[in-house]
Structure 1
């Protein structure tokens, strides 16, 4: 009987790619690259750039640096069913290897589609308990990077299975960093991208890997997934590509806060000059586990605080990069203790297929205002259009201190991937030799 990774390899090879798929992939690549460029202009990004510049980097090393930078600002994409951020792993892996191989746009975008598919299918199979300890992007990402790199390298079926086996053996990434807001989460994305490139590069040279890495007695599911759902890896092979079912973040914070932000922004215009007595946020269990943080002490902790993000949305009518800095944290400190976070049964039951929340504001005098979201803005059910995606990329490039003229050239060039345009070497933007 074929292993799950053998089945996944077969599924990828049989799944057709059309021009709409490539156009969507070009927008997701633009989003990931813009995130990486902006991520460099942060404390963590500057540390990574210094590390990168210390010595020349091979393809895996370049993928590591770009992957880590892509995941710094918490505004990269997210696939809900798998709770994986595929772009920060897959796009850097494909960029690093694609530049080395001198590929053009279609080859690059097809590799991105394969990478999203592999990471998200395996992420959809790990089960909810995995996410309580393990960071799915870190553990499932290496499979996606290996799939993207394997596609670019033209690996045959046996070699691709070897690549998956050795990518899976490098799966790692724990949530303990959340306790202090450490920079470790960026490391997760970088390692996943690097591990997949290394696994595929070795497989191209005949380095073998375990075919039953997922379902084996000493494999990934047995080790890290108490309630794994192995059938999800190969389920619905004719469904749209996972990339087409991936969400784009409009706000630079944890995706679990977004449906509540969206609902709070609806209420904000009605609150001007009025006194808020109490706010109730209903959400699902994973959002409570990760984002119940009433007193964030750093920008990173604020990005993972439902109390802070909802307070910012209600008080300011917007959420942007400045919403998490010290002045904003101080300004919203009086409101945060009045925001209660509770489990909503309907949202818990719908998760992870739908990430929803409701916000109810109780005003002085007894009036109550409420708004709810079944899905957040940027989900496939409420997608950002191309103009909104480009506007977001411009915002990120402004954060990166890239001037308008260069930003425009980058955006035009990246979107030209869909027309099989050339793949530029972006390494110099990240301090890579």
Structure 2
């Protein structure tokens, strides 16, 4: 059997009630992320591209699945609140949730079928991503290049394909997304995840129409790993085939900032007290590569600034969306503290990356006394999980930020939690329509 065929077998194992409930939480978290982002410049660009005035058009009964996957796939990472699997360096929900929801709404499947497909899609994306990230970051944006396989798997399961491995093969033929989008301003990341969501969905549609793909798309001499990730460890793809589903290893992000800042933010919140005279952060090398920016000029740059995130956490508490906007960036108190924060690499933390993304924070008071806090994990990681109530609260805030009324936000949260028992997706579609109808009379900003 090829790697793709073995992987399909692993992904399509029976799912438990706990697996389905976990998938419902990730779908809800992602829906909050895309709702909050629909009014952003990137969100507005995606909506204009589709000719939509609001995200609610993507869940209408006559919406085209490919278009819905593309537009919603563009929005999950805009505000940096998307879920993350550490070992694979994957923001899985950005791609897999977008494709799965689009496919499921078109097919009219049951709630359990939608959630089962999500679990399968997460499994495929994470296993391929973990093999690809065996040596850390590569020039490719894993969320897109590896995420497309998860989107294809979930879409194939929704469609009831007899040979889902062919969908993985077609997905591999369209895998794309290089990391230059990290180095230059713009919306390249949004295009990468949008294209991956749509390509995964289309891969399943092509197979349903009779297309077949290269069987050894993953392990072949000109296959995915050989060409994209020559340092990958393909054995990871099928290791521990009976392990718990990987969706349980995915982290939720409580703060709207790059995940590389989260352990440091948590350490700062642990050390709450008088403003320090100076601050030192010791962390792993990738965090410094991504997030060393003492003078961010945009909201996006501020979300990738350890200095700004820590200044906010130490003076204002847990960061929220407003803490990255122009007024916060220009706040002289935050600017002064950013200038007194130094960063350094910890070799042990670098060696533990990407399995761990930790930080050690040391604060010095004006009299020279030091306080320190080490964080190997961050809130939202499997070792320090967010409660269901906290995930619900995050989704509620994000849905309201995107234009939903408190009642509409609550309705969507309830509809997501009801999916494991839902015979069809009618209640979910209704709740989505109400919550994503921006500017509706019953949906004031909150």
- TM superposition score category, shorter chain reference: over 0.9
Residue equivalent to 1:348: 350
CA shift, 1:295, in A, is: 2.0
TM (norm. structure 1) is 0.94
Say if 1:49 and 1:430, in contact at 8 Å, map to a contact too.
Answer: no
Say if 2:166 and 2:207, in contact at 8 Å, map to a contact too.
Answer: yes
Which of residues 408, 413, 419 in structure 1 aligns to 2:421?
A: 419
Say yes or no: does 1:19 pair with 2:17. yes
Say if 2:90 and 2:126, in contact at 8 Å, map to a contact too.
Answer: yes
Residue equivalent to 1:179: 183
Mapped partners of 2:172, 2:70: distance in 1: 17
Please give the secondary structure, in 1, of the residue aligned with 2:281. Answer: strand
Q: How does 1:118-197 map to 2 (within 5 A)?
A: 118-127=124-133, 131-157=137-163, 160-197=164-201
Mapped partners of 1:115, 1:58: distance in 2: 21
Residue equivalent to 2:108: 102
Q: How does 1:191-210 map to 2 (within 5 A)?
A: 191-210=195-214
Residue equivalent to 1:219: 223
Say if 2:138 and 2:229, in contact at 8 Å, map to a contact too.
Answer: no
Q: Could you list the per-position Cα deviations for residues 219-257 of structure 1 after superposition, in whole angstroms to 9, with x for gaps in the alignment?
A: 221222131111111111111111111000000111111
Mapped partners of 1:388, 1:130: distance in 2: 30
Say if 1:114 and 1:148, in contact at 8 Å, map to a contact too.
Answer: yes
Say yes or no: does 1:116 pair with 2:122. yes
Gaps of 5+ in 2: 439-446
Residue equivalent to 1:325: 325
Say if 2:11 and 2:121, in contact at 8 Å, map to a contact too.
Answer: no
Mapped partners of 1:85, 1:422: distance in 2: 28
Aligned structure 1 segments of 4 or more residues deviating by more than 6 angstroms: none
Say if 1:145 and 1:193, in contact at 8 Å, map to a contact too.
Answer: yes
Mapped partners of 1:430, 1:185: distance in 2: 25
Mapped partners of 2:104, 2:394: distance in 1: 25
CA shift, 1:430, in A, is: 7.5
Residue equivalent to 1:75: 81
Q: Could you list the per-position Cα deviations for residues 14-72 of structure 1 after superposition, in whole angstroms to 9, with x for gaps in the alignment?
A: x2211111111111111111111111121211121121226986212210111112221
Mapped partners of 1:359, 1:415: distance in 2: 37
TM (norm. structure 2) is 0.91
Say if 1:162 and 1:209, in contact at 8 Å, map to a contact too.
Answer: yes
Please give the secondary structure, in 2, of the residue aligned with 1:287. Answer: helix
Q: Aligned pairs, how many?
A: 423
Say yes or no: does 1:49 pair with 2:55. no
Please give the secondary structure, in 2, of the residue aligned with 1:256. Answer: helix
Say if 1:262 and 1:373, in contact at 8 Å, map to a contact too.
Answer: yes
Mapped partners of 1:302, 1:105: distance in 2: 38
Gaps of 5+ in 1: none
Moved more, 103-112 or 392-401: 392-401
